[in-house]
Structure 1
Amino acid sequence: MSSNYIAINQLNQAAYMVVIVETPFNFALGAIGLIFNVLIFTRPSLRNEPCSFYFFSSTCFSLFVVFVSMPVRLLASAYNIDTAYYNRGICKIETFAFDSARTISCWLITCACADRFFHSSLNANIRRLSSLKIAKWAIGIITVIITILYSHMIVYYDIINVSDRFGNVTPTCNGPVGIYRSIVAFWYLILYSLCPSFLMLLFGFLTLNNIRRHRRAVSNVPRTNQILRRTDNQLLRMLIAQVFMIIIATLPFSIYQLYTSFTSSFTKSTLQIAQENLAGRIAGVITYFAHTTSFYLYTLTGTIFRKEFIKIIQRCRHPARNIVHSSQNNTHVIPMAPSNRGITTVQSGNVQK
């Protein structure tokens, strides 16, 4: 009995430390990275790309996950401070908003994969599907569909009493035990993890196949088209890195949700509850990496993304300076971009450095 008590305390302490340490770390990663994502994907060289627009829209939903969902879940998991445990309306809306936002974020990356396939196709009619207009429609449709598919949470989720990791009966926000919770677990697994991940891989392989078919013609195309091809390939590498991160991050928690739904009616010991709680906390924290690491993956895999990031850093370090332009009768002030070689002064038609 004494050894079980010690083991339970150790497991509970480990679960607490996982949330306390990893959630702020994830928050810092996401807060910095996602803000830079917004700045970079709105740059002139990227904002007209449909794929970039999908990235930007996915980033916006990830911002909601990082700045709203993560702090609320941290307070609830680590300190049991969550009004959703005591207010039915907040319970329903909070769960619905958090789950639908991160699912939409993943599905928009799936749309970006589909866009790369459309863009690389040899068929002109398929290539027309890669456009900003189509991207805007697709984002709107995905948002509406995911919202509708998750709307059942507003109806069925409620405050129920369960045994926590310490063996105490506490209120929590969840669906009713039984068939509904099993359906929700399958729904979560398919809609948030398996289905988007499968489609991402499918479109990724199809895109790589299209690129291989184009390679023989690269040497014959004009230089401008070759530059555009390099940009497309960099966007594809960024996309592939994001896809694998989403698969790795979302699958463990989906499996955990499925397991808990099937065993929810079983009688469990305090030790088993503590073990499952630790596994759930670890899997839950990992899911946030799908929403907080995109900037770092893009920076590692995309040259064009790195260049735009460096431009933003340089602009912050060396703000634009005013250069005095002298003429015979008056002086004109011309704003100039910063130069690594110093300030360029234009005077009486002569350039001096």
Structure 2
Amino acid sequence: MSSSNGFLTSLQTLQTNLLQIGGPILMVFGIVSCVVNPIVFTQKNLRKSPCSIYLIAVNIANLLYITFAVLFFILAYGYDIDVTTYNLFMCRFYYYTTYLFDILSAFYLILASIDRVLVTSSNTRTRQRSTRRLAYICIGSGTLFWILFHCHTLILTDIQEIAPGYFTCYYRPGPYVVFTGYYALFVKAITVPLLMIIFAIWTAKNIRKVRQRRIVPVTTNTGNIVGNFEQPFRSKDRQFILMVVVDICIYIVCNIMLYVVVIYYQIAQNIGSLQIEIFLNLVGSFISYISYCIGCYAYLFISKTFRKEVKRLFFCQ
């Protein structure tokens, strides 16, 4: 029994240290990343691409998610400052912003991946559908949908007394808890990563087709065979493809632990230690936050165009 208590105490200490030390560092890196990215994507060389609009939207959603959801999370579980338990508005606001900006970030990234599918298509008409106007329409309508869809959290979350003198902000008991569990399972853990993977693979297949068709043998009247060069998509489009694919990979890798935890506890409910479940959820959540915070640094590493724009902006080169 004492060894078990010691193990649980070690888990508690580990998660506290992780959030107290790693939390502020992650937030600083994340805020810098989410501020730099939109500035770069609004530059003349990049802003003409519809993909830049989607990536700007992704970073705005990430910034808001870091500012509200991640900050509240770190304060509550790292520093034992849970503002959501003292005010009902803050309780509901926390859950609403967490759900909203989390799904908006993923939604915008899926839109960006769809745009890359259109751009890499071998069909000219399909490529022409990738427009800034379509980007604004998709972002606007999708944002409105998710804003309205998550309004339930503004009504069905409450401050509850789970023990004498101990309060927590949580979903209202009953069917709503079941709904949120299955929402996390089917939307967050299954549908979102599945769509990202599908569109990433689709884009890769389109690129492969384009490369195969770049040189098409043509027989002339004299019987000679010459190469007919088809114009591939532009260099900037290739850079945006790379950035979107890297974003998708980062998102899935950083969220995979949380996916496993969500799926496991939906299947094996009420089995195992509550403390271990809380620890796995906290660590999984912390790792998932990394995906919102490192976009800029990944772009600097993999994109020559992005590096040039950053140097030109901040180092006057």
Compute the TM-score of the two structures, normalised by the length of structure 2: 0.87
Q: Structure 2 matches for 1:84-123, cutoff 5 A? A: 84-123=84-123
SS in 2 for 1:65: helix
Q: Structure 2 matches for 1:162-181, cutoff 5 A? A: 162=162, 170-181=166-177
**Structure 1 residue 67: deviation in Å?**
2.4
Report the equivalent of 1:143: 143
- The percent of aligned pairs where both chains have the same amino acid is 22
**Structure 1 residue 117: deviation in Å?**
0.7
Counterpart Cα distance in 2 of 1:50 and 1:260: 39
- Give the conservation status (yes or no) of the 8 Å contact 2:37–2:56: yes
**CA RMSD of the aligned region, Å?**
2.4
Does 2:250 match 1:249? no
Counterpart Cα distance in 1 of 2:199 and 2:132: 19
Report the equivalent of 2:294: 293
- Name structure 1 gaps, 5 residues minimum: 316-337, 339-353
Moved more, 135-144 or 83-92: 83-92
Counterpart Cα distance in 2 of 1:254 and 1:183: 17
Q: Which amino acid aligns with 1:311?
A: R
- Give the conservation status (yes or no) of the 8 Å contact 1:54–1:111: yes
Per-residue deviation, residues 105-157 of structure 1 (Å, max 9, x unmatched): 11101000000111122223322320000000111111112222222212211
- Give the conservation status (yes or no) of the 8 Å contact 1:113–1:204: yes
Counterpart Cα distance in 2 of 1:39 and 1:85: 37
- Of the candidates 195, 201, 207, which is equivalent to residue 199 of structure 1? 195
Report the equivalent of 1:284: 285
Q: Which amino acid aligns with 2:31?
A: A
**Structure 1 residue 182: deviation in Å?**
2.6
- Give the conservation status (yes or no) of the 8 Å contact 1:161–1:170: yes
Report the equivalent of 2:26: 26
- Give the conservation status (yes or no) of the 8 Å contact 1:253–1:283: yes
Report the equivalent of 1:184: 180
Q: Which amino acid aligns with 1:202?
A: I
Q: Which amino acid aligns with 1:119?
A: V
Counterpart Cα distance in 2 of 1:282 and 1:314: 37
How many residue pairs align between the two structures? 305
- Name structure 2 gaps, 5 residues minimum: 216-227
Q: Structure 2 matches for 1:1-353, cutoff 5 A? A: 1-162=1-162, 170-218=166-214, 229-260=234-265, 266=270, 272-315=273-316
**Structure 1 residue 262: deviation in Å?**
6.4
Q: Which amino acid aligns with 2:179?
A: I
Q: Structure 1 125/214 Cα, relative in aligned 2: closer, same or farther at 3 Å?
A: same
Q: Which amino acid aligns with 2:194?
A: F
Moved more, 194-203 or 46-55: 194-203
Q: Which amino acid aligns with 2:279?
A: L
**Structure 1 residue 258: deviation in Å?**
4.9
SS in 2 for 1:274: helix
Q: Structure 1 112/231 Cα, relative in aligned 2: closer, same or farther at 3 Å?
A: same
Compute the TM-score of the two structures, normalised by the length of structure 1: 0.79
